Amino acid sequence: MKITKAVIPAAGLGTRVLPATKSMPKEMLPIVDKPAIQYIVEEAVASGITDILIITNRGKGLIEDHFDRAPELEARLSDSHPMHDEMLRISRMANIYFIRQKETRGLGHAVHCARSFVGNEPFAVLYGDDVIIGDDPACGQLIRAYERFGKGILGVKEVPPDTISRYSSLKVEPICENYFHCTDMVEKPAPDQVLSLYSVLGRCVLPPEIFDILAQTPPGAGGEIQLTDAMRTLAQSTGMVAVDFTGTRYDMGNKLGILQATVEIALRHPQVGEDFREYLKGFVKNL
């Protein structure tokens, strides 16, 4: 079945980026001139997704406004202004729906809120604070893997050993190319629980069976309903496939990740990239 639906959980509290996220959703923090969540929606659309459900909560209304029409701006910008068409394009990229996660009970609980939107189809999940930049959209790489293997797909990368305790850790066996069988995983592993340095980083494609599993999943690490715990049940029963995707992933959920995204994407920006490079060279000399 062709995958056309995606879910973007964006209802986290963003406590690692306070005070910026006290009233501003972290998904709306700009990387140069675009909010993080626009990069994510663009990746989904470039991957063939037509319908997107964004999971929000109180105080995230700005995200809805961003993907809505902006009649005053459209009227103010002349037809020839480069941003005139861009304003329209943003509001027409996909069918975008919103639902509120009424309590912040974890990523697994947020994904469960998408049950009636998804119905009985496989769907993509793009975490709202993970921006991935690359020539081949990461979500599309996972969708191709689903078409090839017909199982739940995990977007993975190896993380440094001293950081694995902050992520998930996967038990993997190579299949071919950048594909691996995954039969087990653990969220935020203690040192003696580490299965490998491969971790799920911000993208997966899931079969609808995940919803029954999520409904039965008790709170795990941090007292939250963890998507990893539900995917573990799936990995142990039907097995899942991990894809070591190409592209650079930026963690917009922490301050260093935001700075890395800003610097690297600014250097490639068609308008400001060259001037920013010159500025940085001069600045670095004086460090």
Stretch that binds ligand UTP, among 29-37, 79-87, 126-134, 178-186 (CB under 6 A): 126-134
Q: How far is the CB of 216 from ligand UTP (least distance, A)?
A: 18
Token code pair at residue 170 = 């996967």
CA 72 to chain CA mean position, Å: 31
Nearest residue (CB) to ligand UTP, 17 versus 213: 17
Is 129 a binder of ligand UTP (CB under 6 A)? yes
Q: Single out the residue of 20, 53, 59, 58 nearest to residue 37, CA to CA.
A: 53
Residue 232: HSE in the Cβ half-sphere, 13 Å Cα cutoff? 20
Tell whether residue 128 is a contact of ligand UTP (CB under 6 A).
yes
d(CA 213, CA 152): 13
Separation between Cα atoms, residue 55 and residue 98, nearest integer Å = 6
Count of residues for the chain? 287
Q: Candidates 12-20, 32-40, 173-181, 204-212: pick the segment binding ligand UTP (CB under 6 A).
A: 12-20
Out of 4, 5, 14, 112, the residue judged to bind ligand UTP by CB under 6 A: 14
Distances 27 to 11, 64, 133, 135 between C-alpha atoms, Å: 9, 11, 16, 22
Q: How far is the CB of 225 from ligand UTP (least distance, A)?
A: 8
Which span sits near ligand UTP by CB under 6 A: 38-46, 83-91, 127-135, 150-158? 127-135
**Cross-strand bridge partners of residue 30:** 35
Are 37 and 27 in contact by the 8 Å Cβ rule? The answer is: yes
At 231, is the secondary structure helix, strand, or coil?
helix
Please, what is the minimum distance in Å from the beta carbon of residue 34 to ligand UTP? 17
Contact characters 202-241, ligand UTP, x per CB under 6 A: ----------------------------------------
Whole-Å CA distances, 229 to 107, 109, 201: 10, 11, 15
Per the CB < 8 A criterion, the answer to whether 35 and 70 are in contact is no
Nearest to 267, CA basis, from 278, 252, 251, 258 = 278
- In the list 67, 127, 146, 180, the residue contacting ligand UTP (rule: CB under 6 A) is 127
Which of 7, 40, 55, 125 is in the footprint of ligand UTP by CB under 6 A?
55
List the x/- string, 62-101, binding to ligand UTP by CB under 6 A.
---------------------------------------x
Of 105, 115, 181, 269, the residue at the interface with ligand UTP (CB under 6 A) is: 105
Look up residue 173 and give its amino acid: E
Task: Point out which residues bind ligand UTP (CB under 6 A).
Answer: 9-16, 55, 101, 104-107, 109-110, 127-129, 253
